[in-house]
């Protein structure tokens, strides 16, 4: 797995789990990840990710 480091402005109040969910969802939506891979990226189970 790759590691990505980004800098966000202080005015953005978002935690790491939210960012991982947004990224995994968008990559899945764009067909770049399977739903299982997206769940793994978000560090959750397939069933939990699939509910979102």
Instruction: Give a yes or no: residue 7 inside a domain.
Output: no
Confirm whether pTM is higher than 0.75. no
Instruction: Give a yes or no: residue 33 inside a domain.
Output: yes
Q: What is the CA radius of gyration of the chain?
A: 12
pLDDT tens digits, one per residue of 5-47? 988 898 888 988 888 888 889 999 999 999 889 888 878 877 7
Q: Name the residue range of residue 29's domain.
A: 16-51
**Structural domains of the chain, count:** 1
Distances (CA, A) of 28 to 3, 7, 10, 35, 44: 18, 23, 28, 6, 14
Instruction: Give a yes or no: residue 9 inside a domain.
Output: no
Instruction: Give a yes or no: residue 47 inside a domain.
Output: yes
Instruction: Give a yes or no: residue 36 inside a domain.
Output: yes
Distances (CA, A) of 9 to 4, 12, 19, 24, 51: 17, 6, 14, 21, 30
Instruction: Give a yes or no: residue 10 inside a domain.
Output: no
Instruction: Give a yes or no: residue 21 inside a domain.
Output: yes
First-to-final CA distance of the chain? 23
Q: How far is CA 42 from the centre of its chain?
A: 5
């Amino acid at each position: 797995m790759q590691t990505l480091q980004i800098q966000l402005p202080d005015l953005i109040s978002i935690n790491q789990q939210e960012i991982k969910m947004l990224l995994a969802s968008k990559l899945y939506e764009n067909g770049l990840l399977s739903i299982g891979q997206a769940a793994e990226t978000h560090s959750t189970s397939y069933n939990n990710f699939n509910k979102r």
